[in-house]
Copies of this chain bind each other. A is one copy, B any other.
Amino acid sequence: LADPRFFNKPNSLSLESIAQISGAVLGDGVDPNFLVNDLAALHQAGPDHLSFFDNVKYKDDFLKTKAGACFVHPDYVPHAPSGVRLLVSKSPYKAYAKIAQNFYPEPKADGIISLQAHIDQTAKIGAGCTIDAGAVIKAGAEIGQNCIIESGGVIGQNVKIGDFCRIGTNASVSHALIGSHVRLYPGVCVGQDGFGFAIDPTGHVKVPQLGRVIIEDHVEIGANSCIDRGAGPDTVIGQGTWIDNLVQIGHNVRIGKGCVIVAQAGVAGSTVLDDFVALGGQVGIAGHLHIGRGARIAAQSGVMKDIPAGEEHMGYPAMPLRQFMRQIATLNRLIKTQKNHKS
């Protein structure tokens, strides 16, 4: 259960409202007026709590749960313990996510601008913004409505940010145009020069980085991740893409819509990710490559070639998943053979 020290106690919701918000359907005979007071995991839930069952691994918890109500896939309705009010959905986890958002909404801007924030007089701040102590807004910056700029967040000269954005503590933003509903987590660095230079024995010659970072709506960028600005073209993060912590995105990279990039992955300069690409943790992608729509790259893979749409790759260097599995099986067989030869 959420610690009231950090989270506001939610209001109660009727199962009827929950069904409506989540798109789930009430099970047979369930009282639509039954009130749920909070959320909890299957094994912790009590009679006034809502839970969800989405992963077979937790079937035992499901069978024994004391939850007052539970999201469940249609296939599992027959196995449900009696006494649990069912909310039937083909996507129980997504249904749960929607109700959790309703119970525990994101913090909202409250319109309070700290006297201890450092705001240039030429910056434009939209209505309803929160700007915390120690935040810095530089000359010519434009912040939309209802944004939150947290302590130590630095919004560089002429940067433009849309509505309902949240810029985390100690994040740095320059040379960027940012859409609405964007969230940068603490320590994120956006818009610094990319790693561009001409090698020279008497001292590398820096190539001025003349592009920008374009971040579309509903993007999230995790703590301490870095997005370099373009060298001439822009670096682009497409709508609804989610980037985890400590990720590196090089200059000129273009990332499509709805991509997911897990922690510590890195994408080198000028590579293009089409929509809905997924990169596992610590994946590395070389520069100037093209990763097709919906491709999925397993954690720690090192990608050195283009990847066609929809394919799943793994390995170092990365190869189609099936080939990687065969490689591992072959190696294991060889080692065994070898041991037999020796003995």
Contacts and interface: CB of A to CB of B under 8 A. Distances in A.
Interface of A: 1-3, 5-7, 39-41, 91, 93-94, 96-98, 100-101, 103-104, 106, 114, 116, 118, 132-134, 136, 138, 140, 150-152, 154, 156-158, 160, 168-170, 172, 174-175, 185-187, 189, 192-193, 195, 197-201, 203-208, 210-212, 218, 220, 222-224, 226, 228, 232-233, 240, 242, 244-246, 248, 250, 258, 260, 262-264, 266, 268, 276, 281-282, 284, 286, 299-300, 302, 316-317, 323, 326-328, 330-331, 334-335, 338-339
A248 B264 contact: yes
B198 A94 contact: yes
Given A151-B118, A189-B224, A284 B300 contact: yes
Contacts of A132: 136
Contact of A266 (B100, B242, B263): B263
B97 A207 contact: yes
A189 B245 contact: yes
A262 B250 CA distance: 10
Q: Which 8 A-B pairs have the closest CB atoms?
A: A118-B133, A172-B186, A94-B198, A189-B223, A2-B210, A169-B172, A136-B151, A300-B302
A284 B258 contact: no
22 contacts: A1-B210, A3-B212, A6-B174, A94-B200, A96-B198, A97-B208, A101-B205, A116-B118, A168-B172, A186-B192, A187-B226, A192-B223, A203-B218, A204-B242, A226-B246, A244-B248, A264-B266, A266-B282, A281-B286, A300-B302, A331-B331, A334-B334
A204 B261 CA distance: 13
Contacts of A118: 114, 116, 133-134, 151
A140 B326 CA distance: 57
A212 B185 CA distance: 16
A151 B222 CA distance: 21
